[in-house]
Amino acid sequence: MKVKNKQEMIENYKKLHQMTEQVGEALMNNQFELYYQPIVQSNGEISNFEALLRWNHPKEGVMSPALFLPYLEETGMMIPIGEWVVTQLVEQLALWNKRYKKINISFNLSMPELLSGEVIKTLVRNCDAHAVRPEQITVELTESMKSPDATTLKRLVNEIKDYGFRIAIDDFGTGYASLEKILTIQPHYLKLDRLFVEQLSTSTQVHYILEAIVKLAHQLQMEVIVEGIETAEQKKYIERLKVRYMQGYFYGKPQPAEKIEGKWSRVLRCC
């Protein structure tokens, strides 16, 4: 057993070392790309686009963050990747601001990035440089991440709010979030994990849980975004709960910016 564990440690170390080198090369060779997925209001208007990182790996093809972000958190590469992400999304938003009337973008901020503060500083600098209004950007804090103590967390989040950025708790319902955490962060948006929608057709209890969460969020003056909408039936049910914002493959898969414009430009021009 010890030999096996030692071997696993060696293999993990090799993997981390290889991933660190590959990520550094990917940054230099422009292998990373942002995809965008629409968040749509119940009236059909685009509310927001979530920026999602993709790696155009020369051997593996397009890689989702789930395949490489865990390694980045262990190697310290999350910070430079996060700085690259916010630089790119602000540049894209500045470009869209010239073409369309109003577009908002959200992005995920990991706990290492939140604690570092460097990603937010880079975000602020880029917004100033490109005349992008902070209120156009929502910072999504992943609910599955462990947090520091409540005092530290509240201070860090309030600093982000003071710049004018909006806050969302992402993937709510599947991780570490609690009522205490919601009250500490006091987000503008509560994003419900796709797990709830996936179980609508098989679990009556999920209906009651969804109704309770939405009611509580509204009473706390928070908007709700429901993820994972894939069918018209799911959309109709969520609309009955008085939820304004929805996201999922029913509206569109994540795509590069040029494809997003090709599909949604007519809607964006009239918003």
User: What is the pLDDT, as a whole number, of residue 95?
Assistant: 94
How far is Cα 124 from Cα 127, in angstroms, rounded to an integer? 5
**pLDDT tens per residue, range 72-113:** 777 778 899 999 999 999 999 999 999 887 899 999 998 889
* H or E stretch covering 236: helix 232-240
Burial (Cβ within 10 Å: 0-12, 13-18, ≥19) of residue 146: exposed
CB 75 within 8 A of CB 16: yes
* H-assigned helices in 107-203: 111-116, 118-130, 150-163, 179-185, 194-198
Domains of the chain: 30-270 (3.20.20.450)
16 in helix, strand or coil?
helix
Lowest mean pLDDT among 144-148, 197-201, 255-259: 144-148
CB 227 within 8 A of CB 194: yes
Lowest mean pLDDT among 1-15, 53-67, 179-193: 1-15
At residue 233, does pLDDT exceed 90? yes
How far is Cα 228 from Cα 173, in angstroms, rounded to an integer? 13
Mean pLDDT across the chain, nearest whole number? 88
* H or E stretch covering 139: strand 137-142
User: What is the pLDDT, as a whole number, of residue 3?
Assistant: 41
User: What is the pLDDT, as a whole number, of residue 241?
Assistant: 95
Percent of the chain scoring above 90 in pLDDT: 62
User: What is the pLDDT, as a whole number, of residue 159?
Assistant: 97
Average pLDDT over residues 30-58: 93
Burial (Cβ within 10 Å: 0-12, 13-18, ≥19) of residue 210: buried
Length of the chain in residues, anyone?
271
User: What is the pLDDT, as a whole number, of residue 211?
Assistant: 95
